[in-house]
C-alpha cells in the first residue's frame, strides 16, 4: 500500500474516532441532563442522597428498606430529619457507596439504620444484589466521589476504559430516565408504599434454603468498611432485619450477626417478631405493605428513641 493510501486510511480512522467521541459526548450530555434533573423514582432519590441530603437519620438497604421504613414517623418520634435511601435489588456495595458520599461532602448523618439481608454476605449469581448491580446504578456518578470510583473500579481496568464513554454510563437506562422525568411515582422522603395483602390463610413456613450459598469475602470487606466509616465519623450504626413472613436461619444473616457482635454494632432482629406476623401486614412474604410499614416504623422508632436517649445522642428531652 502506498504512502498516500496509508494516510487516507489513518485519516479515515481518525475521523471515525473523532466523530464517535463527539457523538458519545453529545448523547451522553443529554442522558446526563435527564439523569441530573430527574423528578421522580430511583434516579431522583439517588441524586438527592448523593448530593443534597443533609438528613440526620439514614435508612440504607434494598427494597425491604425502601418499602418498610416511613421517615416521617422517625422524625415525629425522635425529632431528627430522616431519609430512606433504600433501593431495589442493591446490596452492601451500593449502601457503602451512598454512605461514603455523605461523608466525603461533609454532611455526616448521626444515625444509620442498615437493613441487612442474606444477600449482603453471600455470593449472588443473578443480576441483582451484586457488584454488577451497584456498578450499573452508580456509573452515572463516576468521577464525583473517590469511594464510589474505587467501588466501580473493582471491576478492573476494562471497566475504567468503558466508563470513559458517557453513553456507557447510561447504558440500559433510557426507559428508566423517561419514567423518572415524566411519570410521577408516589414516595415520601424515599419511602415507597406497596399495597395488597397476603391471603388470611397464609401460614408462616420455613424459607427455602439454598444449599449452594457461599459467603462472599469481598462483600464482607465492604460490610466492615461501612462499619469503620461509621465509627471514624461518630455515626451511630444499627444493623436491622425487618419482618419477613417466613422462618429462616440463613448463613449470610448468621455471618452478619457475628460481625455485628465483633464490632459492637447493635443488631435489631424483627424478622419473626410476633406482633408483625399477620398476613394483613404483608404484600408478599418478603415485603410489608403500607399498613405493615407504618406499624413497623412506629415500633422501630420507639425502640431507637429509647436507645439514642440512653446514649445521650439526643441532647434534649423529646
- Can you give the pLDDT at residue 316? 37
Place of cell 461532602: 105
Helix, strand, coil percentages in the chain from 3-state DSSP, rounded to 5 = 55, 10, 35
DSSP 183: S
- Can you give the pLDDT at residue 195? 97
Count other Cβ atoms within 10 Å, centred on residue 106.
8
Partners of 282 in the β-ladder:
288
Report residue 110: phi and psi, to 5°: -90, -35
**Res 318 pLDDT > 60:** no
H or E segment and range at residue 267: strand 267-269
Q: How does pLDDT run across 70-91, given as a tens digit for each residue?
A: 999 999 999 999 999 999 999 9
What is the average pLDDT across 1-9? 70
Give the strand pairing for 205-206 and 246-247: parallel
Percentage of the chain exceeding pLDDT 70: 95
H or E segment and range at residue 230: helix 217-232
Give the strand pairing for 282-284 and 287-288: antiparallel
**Res 60 pLDDT > 60:** yes
Q: What's the pTM value of the predicted model, to 2 decimals?
A: 0.92
H or E segment and range at residue 24: helix 3-36
- Can you give the pLDDT at residue 201? 87
Q: Please tell me the distance from the alpha carbon of residue 318 to that of residue 307, in angstroms, as a whole number.
A: 13
Count other Cβ atoms within 10 Å, centred on residue 71.
23
CA distances from 24 to 33, 117, 136, 162 (A): 14, 38, 18, 12
What is the average pLDDT across 58-71? 98
DSSP 48: I
Amino acid at each position: 500500500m502506498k504512502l498516500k493510501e496509508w494516510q487516507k486510511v489513518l485519516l479515515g480512522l481518525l475521523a471515525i474516532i473523532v466523530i464517535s467521541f463527539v457523538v458519545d459526548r453529545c448523547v451522553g450530555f443529554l442522558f446526563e441532563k435527564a439523569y441530573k434533573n430527574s423528578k421522580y423514582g430511583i434516579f431522583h432519590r439517588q441524586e438527592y442522597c448523593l448530593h443534597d441530603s443533609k438528613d440526620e437519620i439514614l435508612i440504607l438497604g434494598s427494597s425491604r428498606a425502601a418499602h418498610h421504613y416511613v421517615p416521617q414517623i422517625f422524625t415525629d418520634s425522635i425529632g431528627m430529619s430522616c431519609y430512606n435511601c433504600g433501593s431495589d435489588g442493591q446490596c452492601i456495595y451500593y449502601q457503602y457507596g451512598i454512605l461514603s458520599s455523605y461523608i466525603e461532602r461533609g454532611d455526616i448523618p448521626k444515625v444509620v439504620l442498615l437493613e441487612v439481608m442474606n444477600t449482603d454476605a453471600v455470593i449472588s449469581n443473578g443480576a441483582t444484589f451484586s457488584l454488577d448491580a451497584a456498578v450499573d446504578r452508580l456509573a452515572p456518578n463516576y468521577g464525583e466521589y473517590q469511594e464510589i470510583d474505587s467501588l466501580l473500579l473493582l471491576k478492573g481496568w476494562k471497566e475504567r476504559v468503558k466508563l470513559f464513554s458517557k453513553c456507557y454510563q447510561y447504558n440500559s437506562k433510557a426507559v428508566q430516565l423517561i419514567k423518572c422525568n415524566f411519570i410521577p411515582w408516589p414516595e415520601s422522603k424515599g419511602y415507597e408504599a406497596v399495597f395488597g395483602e397476603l391471603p388470611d390463610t397464609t401460614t408462616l413456613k420455613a424459607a427455602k434454603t439454598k444449599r449452594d450459598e457461599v459467603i462472599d469475602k469481598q462483600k464482607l470487606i465492604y460490610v466492615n468498611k461501612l462499619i469503620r466509616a461509621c465509627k471514624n465519623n461518630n455515626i451511630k450504626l444499627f444493623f436491622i432485619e425487618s419482618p419477613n413472613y417466613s422462618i429462616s436461619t440463613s448463613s449470610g444473616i448468621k455471618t452478619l450477626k457475628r460481625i455485628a457482635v465483633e464490632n459492637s454494632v447493635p443488631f435489631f432482629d424483627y424478622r419473626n417478631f410476633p406482633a408483625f406476623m399477620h398476613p394483613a401486614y404483608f404484600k408478599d412474604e418478603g415485603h410489608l405493605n403500607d399498613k405493615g410499614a407504618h406499624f413497623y416504623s412506629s415500633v422501630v422508632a420507639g425502640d431507637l428513641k429509647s436507645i439514642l436517649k440512653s446514649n445521650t445522642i439526643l441532647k434534649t428531652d423529646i
